[in-house]
Amino acid sequence: MYPEQLAEVRNRYRIGDILHVSRLTGGYWNTVLKLETGTASYVLRISHPTTSLNRLQYEHRLMAVVHPHIQEVPAPVPAENGDTFISCNNKWITLFPFMEGAPQSRLRIG
């Protein structure tokens, strides 16, 4: 399951060996995976191929502003070079800390 992207994550992030990978529900536009390592769990988001760099950068700036005030908004895990995303096979990849919970129902919003 996504061997090239997982290899790139292993090479670019200091998270240790990835022991288990499972697909998460709720990713309507992106591919969302749960990665389990020996020390922590993460969410790996592989952005839809049409996601632009400008959109991704805007989203990450917004999360950086909101996260200190709303802990439920995760801050991306930085790669070894400090970037909050990487590129692999023309797709943007973002790693987040895993947060327990369930996807919000679209019917209950508002």
Phi (first) and psi of residue 94, to 5 degrees: -125, 140
Average of per-residue pLDDT across 2-8: 88
Which whole number is the average pLDDT over 76-86? 96
Q: Report yes or no on 21 lying in a domain.
A: yes
Give the CATH number of the domain where residue 18 resides: 3.30.200.20
pTM of structure: 0.87
Quick check: is 83 in a domain?
yes
The domain in which residue 56 lies consists of: 3-97
Say what the pLDDT of residue 104 is: 66
109 has pLDDT over 60: no
Distant-in-sequence, close-in-space partners of 33: CB < 8 Å, separation ≥ 6 = 1, 2, 21, 22, 23, 24, 43, 44, 45, 46
Q: Total domain count for the chain?
A: 1
What is the structure's pLDDT at 73?
Answer: 92
**DSSP string over 9-29:** HHHHS----EEEEEEPTT-SS
- Name beta bridge partners: 19: none
